[in-house]
Amino acid sequence: MTLYINGIGCISPQHTFDNSVFLPEVKEYATNRLACVDADYAKFFDAGSLRRMGRLMKYGTAAGMIALRDAGIDVPGAITTGTALGLPEVSQKFLRSLIEVEETIVSPTTFIQSTHNTVSSNIALLCKCFSHNNTFSHKGFSFESALTDAQLLTLENTDNILVGAYDEVSDYKYAAMKKTNELRQEPCSNLDIYGAQNKGILAGEGAAFFVLSKEKNENSYGSFIGNKTFYKPENKGEIRNHILSFLQENHSSMEEIDVIITGISGAKEVDETRIELNKNLFTTQTILAYKHLCGEYMTSSAFAFWLASKILKSQQIPDAVILENRNRSPKNILLYNSHKHNHSLMLFKAC
């Protein structure tokens, strides 16, 4: 089912919160942990609220409000979000406080803000949206589940749906990733991860929201055609078949695709399949990468959704994201992402 992208909002490790520009500069990191570049949160919250809000609550809520303002919508018809880990930093703070006071009485604020649906609920309170409000926590399929929920809601005549995803790198999560040797060894640069092909990923985070509608307008970025998820494919051939069948189901073909956004992470132990697809299946398309900008996390496909939206509207592709330039006009975009055993596909078209 085709839905039009009428508003976007993204806060990430890059300067993405200003919709009037498109990656004006690429921020370089000399570490394996990419943290969000903060917007001016005073534009969205009063001083009292800011003091009580955790880091993810700030940038997650702000990204949603940016998308609504971009679409010119005061109250969305529904809110549906995805998050793999919720708000672990606040959850850990609450648990530490509980231990310190020997399980007696602690401030309820951290508990209230520790649940996975806190961001979507906070947005609803700010814009007084009393309609459908859902949060999916499906690991690498969290954002994709929210998109599917939005498509189903349109069948019930719901419109102007706010869809988004948010995750953060908490200190605990970062320490766990270091212990399991998931991360690239420091020192390292996020701008060099594809050329070096070393072991390890960059830990990332971010929030991205979109207003999806059944009708396009003069502000529309492009159209979201559909998405598909599949789990733990047995081999590369199965992945190829999923991609081709997905395109066929959406009345498209590989020849019609102009741009591929691939979830290549720069870690050679997980990129083998992606690299082979780039060489053997995506042979005539311009191939883009994005995880050097935002890092690897379970809902990073929301950042790729933002990237596709900006490309479709501007009809420009920043040099910073190009892996293979075949000089194709970006009219039809296919996103192929994977996080561990979770694989997803999304299809976009220009209006």
- The CATH number given to whatever domain includes residue 285 is 3.40.47.10
- Looking at the structure, tell me whether residues 168 and 304 fall in a common domain: no
Other beta carbons less than 10 A from residue 44's beta carbon = 18
Average pLDDT of the segment spanning 307-326: 97
**Per-residue confidence (pLDDT) for residue 295, from 0 to 100:** 97
- Looking at the structure, tell me whether residues 177 and 234 fall in a common domain: no
Q: Does 86 reside within a domain?
A: yes
Poorest-confidence range of 2-6, 136-140, 218-222, 268-272? 268-272
Q: Does 218 reside within a domain?
A: no
| Dihedral, 178, 14, 12, 164 alpha carbons, nearest 10 | -130
Average pLDDT of the segment spanning 52-81: 96
- Looking at the structure, tell me whether residues 207 and 278 fall in a common domain: no
Average pLDDT of the segment spanning 295-309: 98
**Per-residue confidence (pLDDT) for residue 197, from 0 to 100:** 63
Instruction: pLDDT band for 148, please (50, 70, 90 cuts).
Output: very high
* Position 101 pLDDT exceeds 80: yes
User: CA 152, CA 168: separation in Å to the nearest integer?
Assistant: 28
The one-letter code for the residue type at 147 is L
Q: Is the dihedral of CA 313, 318, 321, 326 positive or negative?
A: positive
Instruction: pLDDT band for 327, please (50, 70, 90 cuts).
Output: very high
Contact 202, 263 (CB under 8 A): no
* Position 49 pLDDT exceeds 90: no
- Looking at the structure, tell me whether residues 9 and 149 fall in a common domain: yes
- Looking at the structure, tell me whether residues 193 and 248 fall in a common domain: no
User: CA 43, CA 46: separation in Å to the nearest integer?
Assistant: 8
Query: Which residue among 163, 182, 213 closes a domain?
Result: 213
- Looking at the structure, tell me whether residues 187 and 63 fall in a common domain: yes
Q: Does 219 reside within a domain?
A: no
* Position 91 pLDDT exceeds 90: no
> CA-based angle 52:55:60, to the nearest 5?
105
Instruction: pLDDT band for 196, please (50, 70, 90 cuts).
Output: low
Predicted model pTM? 0.96
* Position 166 pLDDT exceeds 80: yes
- Looking at the structure, tell me whether residues 189 and 251 fall in a common domain: no
b/e map of 59-79 (b: 16 or more CB within 10 Å)? bbbbbbbbbbbbbebeebbbb
Q: Does 78 reside within a domain?
A: yes
Domain range holding 249? 224-349
**Per-residue confidence (pLDDT) for residue 128, from 0 to 100:** 97
- Looking at the structure, tell me whether residues 252 and 333 fall in a common domain: yes
Average pLDDT of the segment spanning 68-80: 98
- Looking at the structure, tell me whether residues 98 and 178 fall in a common domain: yes
Average pLDDT of the segment spanning 117-141: 97
* Position 282 pLDDT exceeds 80: yes
- Looking at the structure, tell me whether residues 205 and 272 fall in a common domain: no
Percent above pLDDT 70 for the chain:
99
Average pLDDT of the segment spanning 309-323: 97
Average pLDDT of the segment spanning 138-165: 97
- Looking at the structure, tell me whether residues 21 and 89 fall in a common domain: yes
Q: Does 119 reside within a domain?
A: yes
Mean pLDDT of the chain: 94
- Looking at the structure, tell me whether residues 64 and 28 fall in a common domain: yes
The one-letter code for the residue type at 199 is K
Other beta carbons less than 10 A from residue 299's beta carbon = 31
Other beta carbons less than 10 A from residue 217's beta carbon = 12
Other beta carbons less than 10 A from residue 228's beta carbon = 18
Percent above pLDDT 90 for the chain:
84
Edge to edge, the sheet with strand 322-324 lists 133-136, 78-82, 161-167, 206-213, 3-11, 222-231, 342-349, 332-339, 259-262, 286-289, 322-324
Q: What total number of domains does the chain contain?
A: 2
